[in-house]
Amino acid sequence: MADRPRIIGIDLGTTNTLVASVKNRIPKIVPTDRGNLILPSVVALSGKGELLVGGVAKDQMVTNPKNTLYGTKRLIGRKYQSKVVDDLKGYFKYDIVEAPDGDAAVTLGGRMYTLPEVSSFILKQLKTIAEQFLGGPIDEAVISVPAYYTDSQRQAVKEAGKLAGFNVKRIVNEPTAAALAYGFNRGLDQKILVYDLGGGTFDVSVLHLTGNVFEVLATGGDTFLGGVDFDNRVMDYVLEKFWEETKVDLSQSPIAMQRIKNAAEAAKIDLTLIPNVVIDLPYIEERKGKPLDLRIPLTRENLNALTMDLVDRTFEICDRVLAEKGINRSEIDEIILVGGQSRMPLVQQRIQEHFGKPARKGVHPDECVALGAALLADSLGTIDSVTLLDAVSMPIGYALPNGRVRRVIEKNSIIPLVKSFRLPPPKDPGSPFIEMDIFQGDSDLMVDNEYLGTLRVPAESAGRKIDFRLNEECLLQVMVEEPGGPRRIELATRDTPELLKKELARVAEERAQKAEQAASTPSSHQEGSGLFSKVKSIFRRG
């Protein structure tokens, strides 16, 4: 019993989730009950009212869209009134609603679930899988999150872990976990770039590895760029070609769309290894009582042409992240690939062209985050544990009366850290309280950032020192100097600030006006505006 692992590493992904454990200092992925190494991050309610998790839930994504939750990693820890959630409402077929605490939530079978609850269903399934495979109870875990996650999102993931029965020992950034899988105990002295193109997101981080010290120098990403976008381009192509041949619109058939989605993803993967495929779907539809077969060739060159702009966007982000810290491409010693989409030959070709060197082989793109999380979990509390000097992915500050944000903590600051300033007087003279709305995000405008909560202290605290503290998990603590010593202040998050509501309403009105103008203005055909661009509204951000 003594050698049984008691702590695991989890990569809670947008599209797929993996769990890993360490035995004899070697990390390994734990296979699921289906024998796969990955568990689709999908939760659904069957027609019989049964809760489904993983592959069985994914299988009914199109045929039962209202009761199939996918891509919820986009929503977790966000306020319902936030701009991002407003943008995401049209991307999913399931209903996004407002929870009593103001957070975004979802409905399944007419019942509301919080986003931490949804993630906990996936984590519970992993817990069961790991316990069965490893032969004993597992109560502790290290869970990875995207580097761009806000404080609220990190807290929500910790809550999900707790709901699943885990003591979450640490939250670790995904690129940092990948770097651990690459450099742990190798005695390296290198600058590495982690290029993470997963199913739903793109992340890039630059780290300096010195022995078992992993220092994040810069990080960035795009929350709306991932493998699903590549799948959607193939689906659009297939639908357009079939329409040209038959004048039949398959996008109206949920069952046909599910088959095309699966075939598009499979074809994309096959084109990693071979130059040509044929998407062959017999009896895809019926016309005048006769079956119609779908048979459409797809070459690697076709795929490259369909997705070149998506790949180019990743390198624009890479260059921006490097420029923020004044790092030249030539200073990067190794490029580590993370995420299944990074296997694409076009991606690897462009990496060679862009950085003047090929990506590092030998680091598994799908598994390295979970393996790194497991290595960190195993090292906690040991003498030769790793030192992680992670960085803040987005600035943190407080709102000003003009709708802008005054930054307290700057992007790419190394954590843990403490930043101090003096409390201003109340906004309204005579008010018994000082209230400050705290935001995190890259924009100088409050409306474009994520609301973390409201600091509320007595007016007599004006002029006292206030500390913003970020721990090694990038979780925020606010401390106010009091006569008896520092006191921790919990941020109130039940209500969205009135100022933010007004700004969001104004932005929504501007968008509506622009949409009306665009609709009334004739335009030439652009990519994504054709007959079958509706596929993007069906399969957004898996």
Q: How far is the C-alpha of 123 from the C-alpha of 136, rounded, in Å?
A: 16
Burial bucket for residue 398 (CB in 10 Å: 0-12, 13-18, 19+): buried
Element (H, E) at 371: helix 368-379
Among the residues of 208-299, which ranges form H helices?
A: 227-246, 254-270
Task: Please work out, in degrees rounded to the nearest 5, the angle formed at the alpha carbon of residue 102 by the alpha carbons of 96 and 428.
Answer: 145
Q: How far is the C-alpha of 220 from the C-alpha of 204, rounded, in Å?
A: 5
CA neighbours closer than 13 Å in the CB half-sphere of residue 46: 10
Nearest to 79 by CA among 51, 104, 112: 104
Q: Which residues partner with 398 through β-bridges?
A: 406, 438
Residue count (the chain) = 542
Residue type, 375: L
- Catalytic residue selected from 151, 159, 174, 378: 174
174 is catalytic: yes
Cβ–Cβ < 8 Å for 166, 127: yes
| C-beta neighbour count of 247 within 10 angstroms | 8
Strand pairing of 213-222 and 387-389? parallel
73 is catalytic: yes
Cβ–Cβ < 8 Å for 181, 372: yes
Hey, is 181 helix, strand or coil?
helix
Hey, is 277 helix, strand or coil?
strand
- Catalytic residue selected from 103, 151, 159, 196: 196
86 is catalytic: no
Nearest to 12 by CA among 137, 111, 144, 118: 144
Residues 6+ apart with CB under 8 A from 266: none
Long-range pairs for 188-192: beta carbons < 8 A, 24 or more residues apart: 190/333, 190/334, 191/217, 191/327, 191/331, 191/332, 191/333, 192/332, 192/333, 192/334, 192/335, 192/336, 192/360
Cβ–Cβ < 8 Å for 57, 44: yes
Q: Which residues partner with 454 through β-bridges?
A: 437, 492
Q: How far is the C-alpha of 14 from the C-alpha of 199, rounded, in Å?
A: 6
- Catalytic residue selected from 58, 73, 158, 268: 73
Residues identified as active-site: 11, 73, 174, 196
